[in-house]
Structure 1
Amino acid sequence: MENINWKRKFILIYAGQFFSLLSSSAVQFSIIWWLTVTSGSPLVLALAGLAGFLPQAIIGPIAGTIVDRYSRKMFMIVSDMTVAIGSLLLFSTVYFGDPSISLVLFVLVIRSVATAFHMPAMQASVPLLAPEEHLTKVAGWGQMLSSLSNIAGPAIAMTLLAVSSFEWVLLLDFFGAVIASSMLLSVRIPRAPRTEEPTSSGFFVEMKEGYDALVKHPKLLKLTIIMTFVALLYIPLGTYFPLMTRNHFEKGVLEAGIVEIVFAIGLILGGLIVSLLGDRFNKIKTMVVGMLLMGFALFFSGWLSPSLYYAFVALSGLVGLSGPIFSAPFYAFIQTEIEPHLLGRVFSFVTSLSLLATPIGYGLAGVLIEATSVATLFSLIGILIILNAAIALKK
């Protein structure tokens, strides 16, 4: 493994990826806003949500197997440029005519398919470039970039929509992908080493190798199940922060915005903490600390009286901060425990499990809110995440 000048390589890669993530976040926000204004239909917005994550969840294991077969750098570039071409197609349609909702949904599907290839290629490339003792630190850098782009992207989109129009935000995505691909071209990513001589095998045999690598690693399998359950609880929760602000604390849109901003700042600080601490502590114990912080913050949020809005703001920041503390070490643990030539497949299986669990989480959360209240949802999710942390520590 080539570890010489590894930090310089990551600066180049992550600088390019930041532009790509930033422009993609802006476009994603703009597309959802355009669909909201154009259709005003909850069904269309639900279809947009499905188009955004379901293709990635379904083809993830297939994509991971293909990524492990060929150049991971090539797949990152092809994925970025596929997203760019999709945005350019939509730009042309908007600029010269009136795009249909079906075309916009199709572009969202294309973006999701591209992500299915890009994510495992990126994650599987990390241990080929970074020393093993710095994998958690690198995961923290990735969390910071993702959080920053998720904050700045919608802000850039709103600014562009205010001073120009929808199509120019789409063009921004094209340039972001070109910058990311150009940066990647200047970095050499070595081929994944194998501990044994490769044998000729079929595609589905190779896919099964990735599945076996996950299920035959007892500790990793148990952690994956725990993290999937946490994703089922945690991911839908982001939708209900505004509802908590409005229904429980009886505040308006300004206060809901403050909660979102503080939560996002917490995400950035969490990524910064992980990037500074790196692998100084045991990965699983760090994950447990992150889950405990989140669990207790959510539990106490549900017990706050309606007059303690600012306490909820502080706890929201703690929820955001805890996210990278338990997710970054998990990614680093996979990179440490799984052989490099299998990483694309394993990451795809792990990601697909989390994505497929998401709609279940939304359904259960919606039923619970209807039966009780959004405050009860927060407390119950907090308790369940604390229990997951205890199970993770025991395992």
Structure 2
Amino acid sequence: MSSLYHDSRLYYILGANSLSAIGSGIVMITIPWLLIKESGGETTFGYVSIIATLIMFLLTPFIGQSIDRFSRKSLLLCNEGIGIAVIGIMVIWGFAGQPYHSIHYILIYIAGSFYYLLFYPTIFAFNQEIFQAEHYKSLSGTMEIQGQLTQVISGAAASFSIEIVSLKWILLVDMLTFAGAFFLFLCIPYVKKKEVKRKITFKKQLFEGIHFMKKRPKLFWFLLATYMPFIGVMMANYLIPVYISDILKANASVYAIEGMMYGVGAVVAGICIPLIMKYVKTEVSIVMTMFIYVISITVMIIEPSVIFLYGLAIFHAVGNAGTRVARNVLMMEEIPNEVMGRVDSLFRLIGTGIRILLLMLFTAGVSKVGVMLPFYVLSCILIFSLGIAIYYVLSQRKVAAHVSNKSIV
């Protein structure tokens, strides 16, 4: 067995991730549904998503700079602490006998978005820092399996609780999971690696990710194109509840089960992709999984059906999660840890900007022409991104063949 699985730090991280992901996952399924079911809720949720995404857009460069500057363990603890405080206030409000209104749903949703904004790039850089390079493929697959198993649990719990359990009890569980995650992160032995201090201005540090990728334009475009399935999933988080409600005429349990089926597919991806990468290049495996994601989204548009939705959710997950696992491995291998936070945040910043534009377009589109046109636009964007990724892989093969021919001569 790999020494990775003998490392106690891995299990503390998996435990902390699982706890916080289950609690926040249930809440982030429940809150959008509660908002959408209110009068004018579809449009309200669209604008809330735009506001949350805009806040994330503005904060992303500073998050990336902070990840490379401060202790990553301290940032993770701070994030869990903020979650405990914000959700704790909402729990107290509910147990005091006060009703929840749209403003409470909005605040919880924005707080959850901020939690994800800080958590994912921090844990990504933290894992790269504390584990050895030979473990990156197994680590990425294991993290994906853990993350998606918790999504399955969250989806199952949400499908049971979303319409029969009071929100205050759901929030209480969320707060307790944050507290458990805080304790487990606290238990991880960690000392931030010392770096040679250089006199660099804050502005230069902030834009270090841009300078790094500017020297690697082909890799930049490939990594940006392969970020699009994640953006597709973020857009689907807004569109799919509306799609289920308006097109399929289904209830909340369908939404929750779809999330659960997505988790099943992502677990499959987490198991299979590291194995596939042993036999094919990482870039090729990324293109393969992107292709699966693009096809599954397109089929969902062509044939609306609850049964199809459940089946296609598995392929959505295999495509998106598989792309993410392989892409994370590629980034860990190609990007130095000391700039990882800023490089990763560069792509998150660009991705967030794209999401803002798409959310504005889709929110207006849903209210005027329905949910299907935004799905068509999303499908076209994904097909174009897949083309860029395929072009990169083919160009890399040509370069490799040219180098090989030179060496033979």
Judge conservation of contact 2:226–2:286 (CA < 8 Å) in 1: no
TM-score by length of 2: 0.80
Q: CA–CA distance in 1 between the matches of 2:306 and 2:108?
A: 40
1:69 Cα offset (Å): 1.2
Q: CA–CA distance in 2 between the matches of 1:84 and 1:334?
A: 32
Q: CA–CA distance in 1 between the matches of 2:219 and 2:369?
A: 36
Judge conservation of contact 2:155–2:257 (CA < 8 Å) in 1: no
SS of the residue corresponding to residue 59 of structure 1 reads: helix
Judge conservation of contact 2:64–2:343 (CA < 8 Å) in 1: yes
Judge conservation of contact 2:266–2:322 (CA < 8 Å) in 1: no
Tell me the equivalent position of 1:120: 121
Structure 1, 322-331 or 73-82: larger mean CA deviation = 322-331
Tell me the equivalent position of 2:32: 32
1:80 Cα offset (Å): 0.9
5+ unaligned residues in a row in structure 2: which ranges?
Answer: 396-409
Q: CA–CA distance in 2 between the matches of 1:272 and 1:365?
A: 34
> What do the CA deviations read for 1:132-190 (whole angstroms, capped 9, x no partner)?
12213222222223323333224324544555411111111221111111111221234
* CA spacing shift, 1:154–1:279, aligned 2, 3 Å: same
Aligned length: 388
5+ unaligned residues in a row in structure 1: which ranges?
Answer: none
Give the letter aligned to residue 186 of structure 1: C
Tell me the equivalent position of 1:150: 151
Give the letter aligned to residue 57 of structure 1: F
Tell me the equivalent position of 1:87: 87
Tell me the equivalent position of 1:72: 72
> What do the CA deviations read for 1:296-331 (whole angstroms, capped 9, x no partner)?
444455566x8x986675444323212122111212
Tell me the equivalent position of 2:384: 384
Judge conservation of contact 2:152–2:259 (CA < 8 Å) in 1: no
> What do the CA deviations read for 1:319-346 (whole angstroms, capped 9, x no partner)?
3212122111212222222221211122
SS of the residue corresponding to residue 62 of structure 1 reads: helix
SS of the residue corresponding to residue 20 of structure 1 reads: helix
Pairing partner for 2:349 from 329, 348, 352: 352
> What do the CA deviations read for 1:256-288 (whole angstroms, capped 9, x no partner)?
776655444222211221355565542211111
Structure 1, 81-90 or 361-370: larger mean CA deviation = 361-370
Q: CA–CA distance in 1 between the matches of 2:300 and 2:34?
A: 33
Q: CA–CA distance in 2 between the matches of 1:172 and 1:27?
A: 9
Q: CA–CA distance in 1 between the matches of 2:362 and 2:340?
A: 32
Q: CA–CA distance in 2 between the matches of 1:155 and 1:311?
A: 19
User: Structure 2 matches for 1:78-227, cutoff 5 A?
Assistant: 78-96=78-96, 97-99=98-100, 101-160=102-161, 164-192=165-193, 194=195, 197-227=196-226
Structure 1, 4-13 or 362-371: larger mean CA deviation = 362-371
Q: CA–CA distance in 2 between the matches of 1:299 and 1:160?
A: 31
Tell me the equivalent position of 1:274: 273
Give the letter aligned to residue 87 of structure 2: S
Give the letter aligned to residue 291 of structure 1: M
SS of the residue corresponding to residue 236 of structure 1 reads: helix
1:74 Cα offset (Å): 0.6
Q: CA–CA distance in 1 between the matches of 2:200 and 2:22?
A: 39
Q: CA–CA distance in 2 between the matches of 1:342 and 1:278?
A: 25
Structure 1, 219-228 or 272-281: larger mean CA deviation = 272-281
Q: CA–CA distance in 1 between the matches of 2:239 and 2:35?
A: 21
Judge conservation of contact 2:239–2:371 (CA < 8 Å) in 1: no
Tell me the equivalent position of 2:42: 42
Q: CA–CA distance in 2 between the matches of 1:79 and 1:19?
A: 14
> What do the CA deviations read for 1:233-259 (whole angstroms, capped 9, x no partner)?
5542455557777988x7855877766
User: Structure 2 matches for 1:297-312, cutoff 5 A?
Assistant: 297-299=296-298
SS of the residue corresponding to residue 226 of structure 2 reads: helix
Structure 1, 29-38 or 254-263: larger mean CA deviation = 254-263
* CA spacing shift, 1:125–1:373, aligned 2, 3 Å: closer
SS of the residue corresponding to residue 198 of structure 1 reads: coil
> What do the CA deviations read for 1:42-74 (whole angstroms, capped 9, x no partner)?
343224323543322320110111221111001
Give the letter aligned to residue 119 of structure 1: Y
Percent identity over the alignment? 16
Judge conservation of contact 1:57–1:116 (CA < 8 Å) in 2: no
Q: CA–CA distance in 2 between the matches of 1:84 and 1:155?
A: 23
User: 2:317 aligned with 1:320, yes or no?
Assistant: yes
Q: CA–CA distance in 2 between the matches of 1:299 and 1:34?
A: 28
Q: CA–CA distance in 2 between the matches of 1:50 and 1:319?
A: 23
Q: CA–CA distance in 2 between the matches of 1:219 and 1:17?
A: 33
Q: CA–CA distance in 2 between the matches of 1:7 and 1:277?
A: 24
Give the letter aligned to residue 133 of structure 1: E
Structure 1, 345-354 or 33-42: larger mean CA deviation = 33-42
User: Structure 2 matches for 1:334-373, cutoff 5 A?
Assistant: 334-362=331-359, 370=369
SS of the residue corresponding to residue 207 of structure 2 reads: helix
> What do the CA deviations read for 1:212-240 (whole angstroms, capped 9, x no partner)?
22333334312233134444555424555
